[in-house]
Structure 1
């Protein structure tokens, strides 16, 4: 529960941090950006999909076309509305103007919304090459960006590389006492898929201790089946169904997370098992 609370704090903080500090431009004598920033901040209180919201940001861009924030803010509304072509044009411009500020966000969106694994890897690795500090977490706070990168490598079939990336980042996360909601699960599934069954069980056990999910017990059952431990296989499937019906399952309001399962998956396995 502690880790989940930390994730919520991080998510809240990330939204606050997204708001620019206009006074910093004034302090450094960049009055054009200061004026553009002040104009952009007039979006507060306006609905993202409203004409007023977009018009204010257009005016900010007119004041200073080199200011990245209005392009990013406009892009978010288009992403949420499903206009991905316009989103891409706007976020690409924001990245061009401020790569360190927006590469992580674009990389995460490429993974979360489009399963553009190669594009996501490119953005995250580019960001990592530009900074000498921790590259941070996904926009929704669920994953460290390195975990997301590892999942992208899994997505393109490079499972062993994915395992190495997840192992390294999870080790760092454990030292900071900040494990992501699904970190152990994803690594456990990778171990299962590469026939490292004992390691898979270890990860699924850790996942159950931090954030007990239907997916965790489902993949644990599959692992037990491979080891011919049929009593534990059936027990884990029953627990998976219980967790699922209790609503304890992977979720994302915008897309289906990697390794997510459905009730029919569990029931099919129960029937065939």
Structure 2
């Protein structure tokens, strides 16, 4: 199976959301949005935290207060700086004006940065109700939004529902010749946590075939321990440590992914394994 890694930078203006086509507004006769759009495009080359960047977007909003793009673009700097209150006001306005364009982004941010799992679920499910096509991926390209939704259900304790959502989306991903970087790992951990150990091993094996990670071998080791397969328990931990030290582990530049582990976790488990 072809393994694809989507390389997207979360907060880059040029990649988080496609640059708007100002000429389309002109074509349809919406002159105010056309002028607002042209003004907003003047942010190109300006640092997101600069006064010029924010002033240009304020001017675009003045031209057309119903144009969503400037609100969204302004919000980015506030999220990066930690001013979450202002970010929320701006992104909420963008969602109000263009829900299809921004619900997925807001839902992903709610999951990734705020652990607002119920809010993320609401946004993703609302987006899904508004469109008749695939709702797409998270802003960093790591997850399909349905995988993120499944992880949110896991976080609020609805693990069986999470399993179904993630398993169904993996099936659809495979049909599209795409496998998320951590999809099988998360599903395997869910099966482990619900004591379906054989299915867990199956998922961890598939994860190793697509993106071999320290986390995968660590959770595989825990599964073997539950099955009293102690030799494989220790061997998997040794492999987990090797992968971790070699840099083959879950990573995100902005937050700690769900199911991420640390070297200390592996070494503590190895101490236990060596006592047996």
Does the pair score TM above 0.5?
Answer: yes
Aligned mates of 2:38, 2:257 — CA distance in 1:
37
* Corresponding residue number in structure 1 for 2:176: 176
Aligned mates of 1:72, 1:183 — CA distance in 2:
29
User: Aligned-pair distance for 1:101?
Assistant: 0.3
Aligned mates of 2:39, 2:151 — CA distance in 1:
39
* Corresponding residue number in structure 1 for 2:60: 60
Instruction: Give the RMSD, CA atoms, in angstroms.
Output: 1.7
* Corresponding residue number in structure 2 for 1:50: 50
Contact 2:8–2:140 (CA<8 Å) still a contact in 1?
Answer: no
* Corresponding residue number in structure 1 for 2:7: 8
* Corresponding residue number in structure 1 for 2:23: 23
* Corresponding residue number in structure 2 for 1:71: 71
Aligned mates of 2:16, 2:124 — CA distance in 1:
22
User: Aligned-pair distance for 1:2?
Assistant: 4.8
Matched, 1:226 2:221: no
- 1:19-52 Cα offsets, whole Å, 9 max, x none, are 1110110000000000000000000000111111
User: Aligned-pair distance for 1:8?
Assistant: 2.2
User: Within 5 Å, which residues of 2 pair with 1:38-117?
Assistant: 38-117=38-117
Matched, 1:207 2:207: yes
User: Aligned-pair distance for 1:16?
Assistant: 7.2
- 1:98-133 Cα offsets, whole Å, 9 max, x none, are 000000000000000011000000000000000000
What is the TM-score of this pair, normalised by structure 2? Answer: 0.95
Q: SS at the partner of 1:8?
A: coil
User: Aligned-pair distance for 1:10?
Assistant: 10
Contact 2:144–2:180 (CA<8 Å) still a contact in 1?
Answer: yes
User: Aligned-pair distance for 1:9?
Assistant: 7.3
Aligned mates of 1:199, 1:177 — CA distance in 2:
22
User: Aligned-pair distance for 1:4?
Assistant: 3.7
* Corresponding residue number in structure 2 for 1:152: 152
Contact 2:182–2:207 (CA<8 Å) still a contact in 1?
Answer: yes
Aligned mates of 1:64, 1:198 — CA distance in 2:
58
Structure 2: gaps of 5 or more residues:
none
Aligned mates of 2:63, 2:184 — CA distance in 1:
47
- 1:164-193 Cα offsets, whole Å, 9 max, x none, are 000100000011110100000000000000
Distance 1:148 1:82, change over 3 A: same
* Corresponding residue number in structure 1 for 2:240: 240
Q: SS at the partner of 1:149?
A: helix
Structure 1: gaps of 5 or more residues:
none
* Corresponding residue number in structure 1 for 2:34: 34
- 1:198-239 Cα offsets, whole Å, 9 max, x none, are 000000000001000000000000000000000000000000
User: Aligned-pair distance for 1:18?
Assistant: 2.2
Q: SS at the partner of 1:3?
A: coil
Q: SS at the partner of 1:198?
A: helix
Higher-helix-fraction structure: 1
Contact 2:57–2:74 (CA<8 Å) still a contact in 1?
Answer: yes
Q: SS at the partner of 2:179?
A: coil
Aligned mates of 2:264, 2:57 — CA distance in 1:
46
User: Aligned-pair distance for 1:241?
Assistant: 0.3
What is the TM-score of this pair, normalised by structure 1? Answer: 0.97
* Higher mean C-alpha deviation, range 31-40 or range 16-25: 16-25
Structure 1 stretches of 4+ with a deviation exceeding 4 A read 9-12
Aligned mates of 2:249, 2:35 — CA distance in 1:
46
